[in-house]
Structure 1
Amino acid sequence: MDEARLPDTDPARPRCLVRERTADFQRVKAEYDNYGKRVRGDRAVEREITAADVLRTLLPVLDAVERTCAHEPLAPGLADIADTLRTQPGALGLEPLGGEGEHFDPERHDALVHHVAPDAGELTCTKILRSGYRAGPLLLRPAAVEVTGPPPDHSGDRTGQGFPTSKPST
């Protein structure tokens, strides 16, 4: 036998090696678990983005159906198609935005017309010109609206649009 390589006779050595290998295994398992969580999260985000892209391409179709339904009587077959187009995108998370009487929110609405009402305390959406939509947390398109409210407060205007960015002080 080679003199330089004597067998290790320390009885604590195998226990030490087991502890080291166990710690290594636990680190690798934790890394793998974190990787799995990251991949699942990435897949969920990718699905959300893909669904939003598909829904965004359907918005002109939904607008056309909305305009048609508003101006023409629909035959029963066309009415069924219109109903399906209004309801089925909801399965992908599509939610309409903007309703008459809502408080104007520049994050969700584009004000195209502003009617001044000196007695109004805040900007209110009085007419929906084009529906807005969101898919989950993603805003696909803001609602185009007419608003009614107090005269624009240009002194605190930070948007350059003439609309107050905060509630008027009373």
Structure 2
Amino acid sequence: MSERTDNSEQEPITFVDNRKIDPETGEVREAAADGAGAPAAPAAAAPEPAASAEATNGELAERTADLQRLTAEYANYRRRVDRDRKAAIDTAKAAVVTELLGVLDDLDRARAHGDLESGPMKSVADKLADALHKQGLEEFGAEGEPFDPTLHEAVQHEGSGHDPVIGIVMRKGYRFGERVLRHALVGVTDGVADLVEAGPTETEASDADAGANNQ
């Protein structure tokens, strides 16, 4: 009586069939909802080293191109700022020097009259001229120089040649760097080439004819 009671209280033994094909029907069984007995999913494949290196190199090249472009833009900006600053400084200097051209004209007239041959005024005039020349002031317009309409203003003309030169200077011209501050007032005459091509003057021709008649 007691043995029968112990057998009835034992837990039933269960078997789990993990076969994927049903032996009775021959059909493929569906995986259980809870995933029991299903094989583990394969781990994600690691990225290939070649593809990772290629992506890194591409990003590096892009960043390098951006840096080079920014560097070029900054260099252009610096050059533009330096050029504008220099132009502003030159304009300011030219404006100051232009106001002093009248003083230089007075000193030239005094020098021509012999008032600056000695004494303290000569020292002052020389120092002023040296200081302006160091800043970039240059004078032009001297007798014998070829006539240049972009630098000289002719107020009188003698002769009709094609190679005119400056015969007399009435007022010097000045330039500051490449900027012409004032044109020179000059008188123009024929150059040496024109005089040679023109031959003897009428007076010389008359004297030659008179000498021939006397003979």
Q: What TM-score do you get using the length of structure 1 for normalisation?
A: 0.73
What are the within-5 Å matches in structure 2 for residues 142-161 of structure 1? 142-149=183-190
What are the within-5 Å matches in structure 2 for residues 114-129 of structure 1? 114=157, 116-117=158-159, 120-129=161-170
How far is the alpha carbon of 1:128 from its aligned partner? 0.7
Q: SS where residue 79 of structure 1 aligns?
A: helix
CA RMSD of aligned residues (A): 2.0
How far apart in 2 are the matches of 1:14 and 1:87? 64
1:61-108 C-alpha deviation (Å, 9 max, x unpaired): 111111122225235101111112222211111110100011111101
How far is the alpha carbon of 1:143 from its aligned partner? 0.6
Structure 2: stretches of 5+ with no match in the other structure: 1-46, 192-215
**What residue in structure 1 maps to residue 91 of structure 2?**
49
Among candidates 142, 145, 149, match of residue 102 of structure 1: 145
Q: How many residues align structurally?
A: 140
**What residue in structure 1 maps to residue 178 of structure 2?**
137
Counterpart residue identity of residue 21, structure 1? R
Higher strand proportion: 1
Structure 1: stretches of 5+ with no match in the other structure: 1-8, 151-170
**What residue in structure 2 maps to residue 6 of structure 1?**
none
How far is the alpha carbon of 1:131 from its aligned partner? 0.4
1:46-74 C-alpha deviation (Å, 9 max, x unpaired): 22222222211111111111112222523
Identity of aligned residues (%): 39
**What residue in structure 2 maps to residue 78 of structure 1?**
121
Counterpart residue identity of residue 148, structure 1? T
Change in 2 beyond 3 A, CA 1:24/1:78: same
Q: SS where residue 142 of structure 2 aligns?
A: coil
Q: SS where residue 180 of structure 2 aligns?
A: strand
Moved more, 105-114 or 121-130: 121-130
Counterpart residue identity of residue 27, structure 1? R
Poorly superposed stretches of 4+, deviation over 6 Å = none
The structure number with the bigger radius of gyration is 2
More relative contact order, 1 or 2 (CA 8 Å, 6+ apart): 1
1:112-133 C-alpha deviation (Å, 9 max, x unpaired): 122x236x55222111100001
Q: SS where residue 175 of structure 2 aligns?
A: strand
Moved more, 43-52 or 125-134: 43-52
Q: What TM-score do you get using the length of structure 2 for normalisation?
A: 0.59
Counterpart residue identity of residue 113, structure 1? Q
Q: SS where residue 100 of structure 2 aligns?
A: helix
